[in-house]
Amino acid sequence: MKMKKTLATVAITAGCIALGAYLHARYTEYTEAPVVKISPEDTATVFSGQATASRVAMSYAPTDFTEAAAKSVESVVHVKVLQESRQSAYGSSDPFLQFFFGPRVQPQQPQGPQLTGSGSGVIISNDGYIVTNNHLIENADKIEIVLNDRRVFEGTLIGTDKTTDIALVKIEASDLKPLAFGNSDALKVGEWVLAVGNPFNLTSTVTAGIVSAKSRKMGINQSQMSVESFIQTDAAVNPGNSGGALVNTRGELVGINTAIASNTGSYTGYSFAVPTSIVQKVAADLKEYGEVQRALLGVSIAEINSELQKKYNLEKPEGVLVMDVNEGSAARDAGIQSEDIIIAVDGRPTMTVAQLQEQIAQHRPGDTVKLTYIRDGKEMTTMCTLRNVRGTTEVVKVADATDVLGGSLRPISDDEKQNMHLRYGIKVEKVGNGKLKESGVRDGFIILKANRTPLTTVKELEQITATASEGLFISGIYPNGKVAYYAINLQD
C-alpha cells in the first residue's frame, strides 16, 4: 500500500536565537498508515515451544501520542509573572552615574503588580514543587501558578540557577499530578517527543516533533560558567512555552523547553530544551540546599576541529582539548595536563564541549569520576574527585554567603526607592565582621549590582556570592549620592 506523506520543511535563517524562551513542535502528518503485507508462510509457527519459521510477521502503525499527552497536560502549569511598577535607577544626570547605571527616568506613581510575562512550568512532586525557566521568573515580584483545572496559587521561589536557566517554585497544594522524570541520555535522534505548554496564553497545548540533535551548544546563555547541552527538536514552539515540558511517547519528562531558533521571535524551525539529566540534579540541589552544587574540573577547554585533529594525529575530530589546568583544581590533582584530550567520562563518550559540560553538571563536589583521555597518542585513564567553585569538596550553602560577607542586609524600602529614584537595591544597614568590612564598605551603602546582576532581594546576593568563582564585584550608592564599587576576594 502506498503511503501519502506531507512533509513541511522549515528553514532557519542564521541570526538571532530567541531566549525569552518559547517552544513547541512541528510534526510529520501521515494521511495513511504504512503497513507491510505478509503471506501466511512468513508467520512464525511454534511447535513444542520451538519456532520453526525463519521470519516473523511485522506490521507498522502510526505513533499514538494520546497517552503521553493525557499524562502531560495535567502536570504542566501556566506561570504568570507579575512585577511592581519600577522607579528610575538614579536621581542624578551625572554622566558618570549614567555610565555605570544607565540614564535617569523620571519617577512614577506606584501602580501595583502588573502582568509582565507568562510561560509554563512542570509539576515534579505531588506536594507542589514546580520546575520552570530562570529567565521567565528572575525579575518577578509575584509568581502566579494556574493549574490545568484552573485553580490558582501564589508561587514561592525556592531557588534559581542561571547557568542552566532552571528555577524551582513551590505552591501550597497537595495531591497534584507530577510528571515522572525520564532518561534524557537514552533519547535517540529521530525519536518522537511532545512539547507541552501555554503558547500565546493558549493553555494545555500539545505539539509533536522529533529529536533533531543532542548536546547542542548555542551560546545563548551568557551567565558565568553556563552549561549548554540542549536537546534540539523540530517541535513547534512559541512565546509561552518557556519552562514547559518536553516528553517522550511514554509521557516521561525528558527536558524543559527553553529557547527557539528564530529571527522573528516566533517559531520558525527548531527549539531547544534542557535535558532532564541536568534538570533533575539542579532541582534536587535547589530543594535541598537552596543553591546548585556545581562540580568543576578546573580546566579551560576547546572543541576538537579538523585542524586540531591533524595536529594531534586523531582518527576523528572528536573529544575535548584541555587548554589549561587551574592550580589546586580537581583536574590537576588527577594528573590532567594541558594538551590532554578528554574522550570519555565514566565510560561515556565525550565528543564535544557540550557533552563534557553535561556529564560533569550531573555531579556534585566530592563525587569521583573516571576520565579517559589521550596524551601523546596514548589512551589513558585517571580518577578525578570534583570540587566546588571555592576549590573544596564541601557543600556550598546560601546561608554561608551571608556569614562570609558579614553585616545586616535588607532590600531598600519603597520610600528609599522614591527618595533616591532607585528601582532596586540591597542596603547594608550595619557592617559586621566579614568581607564587606575588609573591603571598605560602610554603613548605609546600597548595593545595586553584584557581578553585574541587579539585586532586589538578599537571597539573590547570597546566591551570587555562593557561586562566585572569581571573587565578587559590587557597585552601588551611598545615601549622600556618592557612587562606589568594591572588589571582594572570597578566597581568603
* Listed residue (292, 314, 317) closest to 302, CA to CA: 317
Contact 246, 253 (CB under 8 A): yes
* Listed residue (198, 185, 191) closest to 144, CA to CA: 198
Q: Which residue has the cell 565514566?
A: 346
Contact 145, 137 (CB under 8 A): no
Angular region, 204: left φ>0, alpha ψ -120 to 50, beta rest: left
Q: Strands 152-161 and 142-146: what pairing?
A: antiparallel
In whole angstroms, give the CA distance from residue 339 to residue 333.
16
Tell me the backbone φ, ψ of residue 217, rounded to 5 degrees: -105, 125
Q: Side chain identity at 283, as an amino acid letter?
A: A
Among residues 135, 234, 285, 363, the one annotated as catalytic is: 135
Among residues 242, 271, 277, 329, the one annotated as catalytic is: 242
In the residue annotation, 174 being an active-site residue is answered as: no
In the residue annotation, 165 being an active-site residue is answered as: yes
User: What Cα–Cα distance (Å) separates residue 196 from each residue in 164, 199, 235, 254?
Assistant: 20, 9, 10, 12
Neighbouring C-beta atoms of residue 27, cutoff 10 Å:
17
In whole angstroms, give the CA distance from residue 69 to residue 451.
42
Q: Side chain identity at 490, as an amino acid letter?
A: L
Q: For residue 8, give the 3-state DSSP assignment.
A: coil
In whole angstroms, give the CA distance from residue 146 to residue 181.
22
DSSP assignment of 264-322 equals SSS-SSEEEEEEHHHHHHHHHHHHHHSS----B--EEEEE--HHHHHHTT-SSS-SEEE
Among residues 165, 234, 285, 340, the one annotated as catalytic is: 165
In the residue annotation, 75 being an active-site residue is answered as: no
Which residues does the annotation mark as catalytic? 135, 165, 242
